[in-house]
Amino acid sequence: MSTFDVSSGRTPTTGRRRAVGRSSAGDAPNRRNTELLMLGFAVLVPILAYANVGLAMDGSLPAGMLSYGLGLGALALVAHLAVRRFAPYADPLLLPLATLLNGLGLVMIWRLDKAGKLLIKNFPAAANQLMWSGIGLAVFIGVVWLLKDHRILQRYTYISMVVALVLLAAPAFFPSRKEDFGAKIWIRIGSFSVQPGEFAKIILTVFFAGFLMVKKDALALASRKFMGLYLPRGRDLGPIVVVWLLSILILVFETDLGSSFLFFGLFVVMLYVATERTSWIVFGLVMSLGGAAVVASTESHVKTRINAWLDPMAAFAPKPPPQSSEQIGQTLMSLGSGGTVGTGLGQGRSWLIQFAAKSDFILGSFGEELGLTGLMALFMVYGLVVQRGLRTALAARDPFGKLLAVGLSSAFALQVFVVAGGVTGLIPLTGMTMPFLAQGGSSVVANWALIAILLKISDTARRPAVEPAAAIPEPAGPERYGPGSGAPDQSRGASS
């Protein structure tokens, strides 16, 4: 452990904090054993699900049972040990929740692999996804290990902006395939493809957090009151207009409704948190609705999606409208056939969803085989991830950390909402993947990185404080605790 300086220079050296942290570790529970126990469940549940699929479809335990169980267990254990070593005070639930989702996703992908010819273009994907999960966990461990303090990221605010812009713009220059339904969200080099939007989500959040930390006072205070709303000055409007334009451009050139909604929503949320001005939300809503209305009325791809949302069964008509797809209708029938308790793993017919059954529409398979009960549980798990992230934001002691944690958590929540809402017909469908569950290397790796950053923020936030003024840049707030006071930490831990 080498000593390092974080950018603000207001924090003490790591060595000193660690030393004190260790001395008080005996009093303040670091919750690592809770994490280990939870992780045990998070590994056990997918293994049982795996066995369940094998028994239902072949009448015997799957041959890969032992290696899958040991592999998933080993990966989780290594991740846990890394957290134990490099982020001892981190939130105890985030790692198990992510492991559970990733494990269940693997089981469902394997189950759909087994559907064989029933699913069109069914290439076995479970092994590949397992490899990507491994890479994801390696990235997770790398971040936990190498990112000494999340505030280092603040140094890269503007580099992040450039990288995010490049990542977002890149897919527009690569040709899209026919089966992408017009969405250009991939970078393809040979058989290798990357969905840069998944990484841009994190990098853009870093940029927003760094940018807003610097500008928040100017944005919040220099405003004019008009009809009870605080309106920003013209020049402060600049950045929000730029982001708004960016999201509209993504929509127009990459026809990616989901990412556009995600990035703009993310920015509005972070702006609101940074400035505490409700007027920004009003502003954001007006701009996004206006932009969406204009684009929806001109872009045929978006119009198709909206029509498919309004009438999901139109594609089944004898003369279906052009470019229509049975996917949403098939997914809804899948969900309805699953009913309250589902058909049981391996016993449904969600392969009827056909295209993208393993990726964007994997929730349909979960809904059919695990039923309403299973989907409620999955949404609960996603909700918990989001709430643990936001709790980290509350507990964080520096504004950059708060903004970053809020940004990452709400991006996660928005993504879950946009994907699950689209698949279940709540909102028009957009091309995004369900974090951790769906097939897709980029998504798994990016989301493991996201969880790792949240863990690092929570580690810093929950670490027993050393000196009041030194460790905490912000004035006293509800999340601030006196030096060496174990009690508040314990009470916080108890509610974890």
Partner 1 sequence: MNKPIRRVSIFCLVLILALMLRVNWVQGVQASDWANNPHNDRAKYDRYAYPRGNIIVGGQAVTKSDFVNGLRYKYKRSWVDGPMYAPVTGYSSQTYDASQLEKLEDGILSGTDSRLFFRNTLDMLTGKPKQGGDVVTTIDPKVQKAGFEGLGDKKGAAVAIDPRTGAILGLVSTPSYDPSTFAGGTDEDGKAWTALNNDPNKPMLNRALRETYPPGSTFKLVTAATAFETGKYQKPTDATDTPDQYILPGTSTPLINASPTEDCGDATVQHAMDLSCNTVFGKMGAELGGDALRAQAEKFGFNKEVNIPVRADASHFPSNSKPDGTAMDAIGQHDTRATPLQMAMVAAAIANNGSLMEPYLVAQEGSAGNVISTHTERQLSQAVTPATAQKLQQLMESVVQNGTGKNARIPGVTVGGKTGTAQHGQDNSGLPFAWFVSYAKGQDGKQVAVAVVVEDGAGESREISGGSLAAPIAKAMMQAALGK
CB of 110 to partner 1, least distance (A): 19
Residues present in the chain in total: 496
Q: What does the block give as tokens for 191?
A: 């058989």
> How far is the C-alpha of 68 from the C-alpha of 319, rounded, in Å?
46
> How far is the C-alpha of 299 from the C-alpha of 255, rounded, in Å?
8
CB of 95 to partner 1, least distance (A): 20
CB of 16 to partner 1, least distance (A): 26
> How far is the C-alpha of 116 from the C-alpha of 101, rounded, in Å?
24
Between 388 and 456, CB nearer to partner 1 = 388
CB of 239 to partner 1, least distance (A): 18
Between 252 and 262, CB nearer to partner 1 = 262
Per-position b or e across 365-377, b if 16+ CB within 10 A of its CB: bbbbbbbeebbeb
Q: What is the DSSP-derived secondary structure letter of residue 356?
A: T
Is the Cα dihedral 250, 252, 253, 254 positive or negative? positive
> How far is the C-alpha of 146 from the C-alpha of 75, rounded, in Å?
18
CB of 20 to partner 1, least distance (A): 25
Between 234 and 276, CB nearer to partner 1 = 276
Integer distance in angstroms from the first to the last C-alpha of the chain? 29
Between 172 and 394, CB nearer to partner 1 = 394
Between 146 and 376, CB nearer to partner 1 = 376
Radius of gyration of the chain (CA): 23
CB of 264 to partner 1, least distance (A): 15
Between 179 and 276, CB nearer to partner 1 = 276
Residue type (1 letter), 473:
P
CB of 331 to partner 1, least distance (A): 9
Q: Give me the long-range contacts of 94-97 (CB less than 8 A, separation at least 24).
A: 94/385, 94/388, 94/389, 94/451, 94/454, 94/455, 94/458, 95/35, 95/39, 95/451, 95/455, 96/35, 96/38, 96/39, 96/41, 96/42, 97/42, 97/381, 97/384, 97/385, 97/388
Between 174 and 379, CB nearer to partner 1 = 379
Look at residues 307, 291, 440, 288 and name the one whose alpha carbon lies nearest to residue 361.
440
31, 101, 397, 448 from 44: Cα distances, Å? 20, 12, 35, 20
CB of 61 to partner 1, least distance (A): 17
CB of 377 to partner 1, least distance (A): 10
Between 82 and 219, CB nearer to partner 1 = 219
Between 290 and 339, CB nearer to partner 1 = 339
Between 249 and 332, CB nearer to partner 1 = 332
CB of 487 to partner 1, least distance (A): 20
Per-position b or e across 19-47, b if 16+ CB within 10 A of its CB: ebbeebeeebbbbbeebbebbeebbebbb
328, 439, 496 from 363: Cα distances, Å? 11, 11, 28
Strand ranges, E, within 227-331: 229-232
Q: What are the phi and psi torsion angles at 179 (to 5°)?
A: -80, 0
Specify the 3-state DSSP secondary structure of 188: strand
Q: What does the block give as tokens for 206?
A: 């870093």
Q: Which residues bind partner 1 (CB under 8 A)?
A: 116-118, 269, 272-274, 276, 313, 316, 329, 332-333, 335-340, 349, 352, 367, 371-372, 375-376, 379, 382-383, 386-387, 390, 393-394, 399, 402-403, 406, 409-410, 413-414, 416-417, 420-421, 424-426, 474, 477-479
Between 2 and 340, CB nearer to partner 1 = 340
Between 167 and 403, CB nearer to partner 1 = 403
> How far is the C-alpha of 372 from the C-alpha of 49, rounded, in Å?
17
